[in-house]
Amino acid sequence: MLDDFEVLDAVIVGAGPAGCAAAYDLARAGRRVLLLDKRSFPRHKACACGLTRKTLAALRYSVEPIVERVCHEIVLQNSGEVRVRTRNPICAMAVRERFDAFCLQQTLAAGDKGGSATLRKIEGIAALRESADGVELEILTVDGTETLRAGC
């Protein structure tokens, strides 16, 4: 656990795919990052988790270990039916709970050049204060409140 007075390079609120991508890049660049989330992982999320080609290309790592199915065909319907089939995948399907947990696992293992990413479960955020040399984030925990600092 981080010391109350330890200054971080970044604090990211939300450990979903976007938060993990930001934390992954920062940790690989040698930064100390703290991810905050209100949920415990793996977390249930009502989502079909269709990952488009664009999404798959934007990810920092292969998600092939958690892909359930790769789709090469789509059916478009309006006043008729048009089938589009390609050799290249149109999208990949995964279970969102497994996808989120996999992204988080990759992020927590991403430290490089002295960087690291850590996850902390919180109850909420009480306040955010900006200053010339960084930000202070007052978080709500099961034990009360705590102040985190991230430098600029």
Residue 1 in domain: no
Asked whether residue 15 is domain-assigned, the answer is: yes
State the CATH number of the domain containing residue 37: 3.50.50.60
Residues 109-125: tens digit of each pLDDT: 998 888 999 999 999 99
Q: What is the pTM of this model?
A: 0.85
Instruction: Please give the average per-residue pLDDT across 22-26, as a whole number.
Output: 96
Residue 6 has pLDDT above 70, yes or no: no
Number of independent structural domains in the chain: 1
What is the domain range of residue 128? Answer: 7-151
Residue 2 lies in a domain: no
The strand ranges marked E within the chain are 7-8, 10-13, 32-37, 50-52, 67-71, 73-77, 81-85, 91-94, 116-121, 124-131, 134-141, 144-151
Q: What is the pLDDT of residues 74-108, one digit of tens each?
A: 899 988 899 999 998 899 999 999 999 999 999 99
**Residue 89 domain-assigned (yes or no):** yes
Q: pLDDT tens digits for 127-147?
A: 999 988 889 999 999 999 999
